[in-house]
Amino acid sequence: MTVDPTVTVLLYSSLAAATAVLGAFPFVLHERLPVARIGWANALAAGMMLGAAYALMALAAQYGLGRTAGGALLGILFVYWTHLASSTEDLDLNRIDEPGPEYGYQVLFINAMHSAAEGVAIGVAMHVNISFGIFMALAIAAHNIPEATILCAILTGRGVRVVNAGGLAVATNVSQVLLAIVTYAVVAAVPILLPWALGFAVGTLVYLVLAELLPESYHQAGSTTIALVTIAAMGMVVLLGQFGG
Amino acid sequence: MTTHPAVVVFLYGLATALATGLGAIPFAFLRSVSPRVVAFANATAAGLMLGASFGLVVEGTAHGSWQTLVGATVGVAFILGTQQVLGHHDIEFGRARGAGARRMLLMIIVMTVHSFSEGVAVGVSFGGGATLAVVITAAIAVHNIPEGLAISAVLRPRGSSVLACAGWSIFSSVPQPLMAVPAFLFVETFREALPYGIGFAAGAMVFMVLVELLPEAYGQARRPHVALVVSCTLVGMVLFQQWL
């Protein structure tokens, strides 16, 4: 029996979305997490995302550099604009004790948009070939865990129950599943879009790391710790990509 | 009279080193030295160095993934060690003191040690046959200009003159001709060492970006601007290098 590749994309992107629930586990044991641990989570998530961007970028040369770079610029501008349009560009994304209702929605929106970009990365990688796509989905899945820990820290700090916080972390990743399937289907239908989608994924991943994950992290843990955790996580993904993809 | 090929390699290498000095030129027009200028210059250097590291890792892993990883780990350790040493002294560099001076010195050290492996890469590729020599030299020379730009971006806003920026940029590339010659003469030996050296260069540069350049940039400019400058410069650098 052969599985339709679209189903494979659905299964792996759903798996990546669902692993976010693991990020809620620290809060089953502790009510609050030390700020330095949140810095670690940011750095881990950032490093894995940079590793994923590297793996995608390494493919770019095969598919036409100009168009990939064009896609990357579109991706960068797209995220830049979504931040600007939603007035979240200077928002502290890791406030644990911010009670205002507006902040909660802003953070959920940011997380949903962030996941959507990662969905594009999974979808385009699946189109390149399935095993590379699975590698990408697993890298994003691992990355979703520390990211969900940060979201859960914010949500539980606002009084959301741990179960619901974990659920919301998964729910914000629904956009990831959706974009993975849409990207996969569209690129399969219009192959000329492949380098654009590849570049778009790289551009968004890199920009999100620089705009959302790293800025707060340096205040939460020292720059040496952040740099070490980030580069170790990145190296791990790059290395696995060498053997996996 | 025929010149010894090693002399040719050295001269070509020297030409590429001199090209690095051209990176200081854009900073001739930079006068005001506000914290924002420092932040944007940092972000530019960060993007250039991340882009350059991307190219290095692709090349290094083509020679050997594990060797590249070992090299990168040593590169990170090297920066940590150098930071420790510099941290224990009250450094003065030009008109700058303290953290600024440490960053300037660290930048020069990082870019200089990274040139060692680039020199090896030049020598090894010359060893493959001298027909491509001019093409390779031209490519490396052009590729060095943004590296001079990265160095000048860190030195100039902290008070170095344009001439000093050009001088230090060229200095950082001097290991290229020096290493190119032995690598050319003993291609096989150096070919094996190449992925370690490339990994070292990439590890040191990425770590320098993460531990020094980005935190300072975030501290002095708005987040979206830093992210925009770094990511666009990164894309530009990758495009520039691959296109060569």
User: Domain range spanning residue B163?
Assistant: 5-27+34-243
Q: pLDDT band for position B130 (50/70/90)?
A: low
pLDDT at A26: 92
Q: What angle do CA B213, B85, A235 make, to 5 degrees?
A: 50
Partner-chain contact B58 A58, CB within 8 Å: yes
Q: If 0-12 CB within 10 Å is exposed, 13-18 middle and 19+ buried, where does residue B225 land?
A: middle
User: Looking at residues A108-134, what average pLDDT do you find?
Assistant: 95
| pLDDT number for residue A107 | 93
Asked if residue B14 has pLDDT above 90, the reply is no
Q: Taking the C-alpha atoms of A194, A198, A200 and A205 in order, what is their torsion angle to the nearest 10 degrees? A: 160
Mean pLDDT of chain B: 84
Distance CA A195, CA A234 (A): 23
**Cα dihedral value A209, A212, A216, A222, nearest 10:** -10
Select from A89, A203, A235 the Cβ nearest to the Cβ of B235: A203
Question: How confident is residue A81, by pLDDT bands cut at 50, 70 and 90?
Answer: very high
CB B74 within 8 A of CB B200: yes
Instruction: For Cα atoms A33, A230, A31, give the angle at the middle one, nearest 5 degrees.
Output: 5
Picking from B58, B210, B232 by the largest number of A CB atoms within 10 A of its own CB, the best residue to mutate is B210
| pLDDT single digits (tens) B103-119 | 888 889 888 888 887 78
Mean pLDDT of chain A: 93
Nearest by Cα to B173 from B150, B190, B202: B150
Higher pLDDT, residue B35 or A215: A215
* A81 CA to centre of own chain: 18
Q: What's the rounded mean pLDDT across residues B123-131?
A: 64
- Residue identified by tokens 């001199």 is B18
Least confident of A171-180, A181-190, B13-22, B93-102: B93-102
**Chain A residue closest to B68 (CA)?**
A239
**Domain count of the fold of chain B:** 1
User: What is residue B223's predicted lDDT score, i.e. its pLDDT?
Assistant: 94
Identify which of A71, A219, A232, A93 has the alpha carbon closest to the alpha carbon of residue B203.
A232
Q: Are A176 and A17 in contact (CB under 8 A)?
A: yes
- Nearest CB among A54, A218, A234 relative to B215 is that of A218
CA distance B60 to B66: 9
- Cβ contact, residue pair A54, B57, below 8 Å: yes
Cα–Cα distance list, B186 to B126, B129, B173, B196 (Å): 11, 13, 21, 16
pLDDT given for residue B32 in this prediction: 60
Cα torsion B190, B193, B198, B200 to 10°: value is -130
Q: Would you place residue A198 in the very low, low, confident or very high pLDDT band (cuts 50, 70, 90)?
A: very high
Residue B132 clears pLDDT 60, i.e. is over it:
no
Q: Burial of A181 by CB count in 10 Å (0-12 exposed, 13-18 middle, 19+ buried)?
A: buried
* Whole-number Å distance between alpha carbons of A7 and A181: 9
What does the pLDDT read at residue A46?
A: 97
Q: What is the pTM of this model?
A: 0.90
* Domain spans of chain A, in order of start: 5-244
Q: Is pLDDT of A108 > 90?
A: yes
Categorise residue B98: left if φ over 0, alpha if ψ from -120 to 50, beta otherwise: left
Does the CB of B116 have a partner CB in chain A at under 8 Å?
Answer: no
Report chain B residues whose CB lies below 8 A from the CB of A243. 65
Query: Could you say which of A58, A66, A80 has the minimum Cβ distance to residue B228?
Result: A80
Residue range B143-172: mean pLDDT, rounded: 88
Rounded average pLDDT over B41-61: 88
Judge residue A99's burial from the number of C-beta atoms within 10 Å of its C-beta, 0-12 exposed, 13-18 middle, 19 or more buried: exposed
Residue B36: which pLDDT band, with cuts at 50, 70 and 90?
A: confident
The pLDDT of residue B145 is 85
- Alpha helices (H) in B161-222, listed in sequence order: 162-173, 175-185, 187-208, 214-220
The reported pLDDT for the residue numbered B98 is 76
Does position B135 have pLDDT exceeding 70, yes or no? Answer: no
Q: What is the ipTM of this complex?
A: 0.94
The burial of B73, by beta-carbon neighbours within 10 Å (0-12 exposed, 13-18 middle, 19 or more buried), is given as: middle
CB A119 within 8 A of CB A183: yes
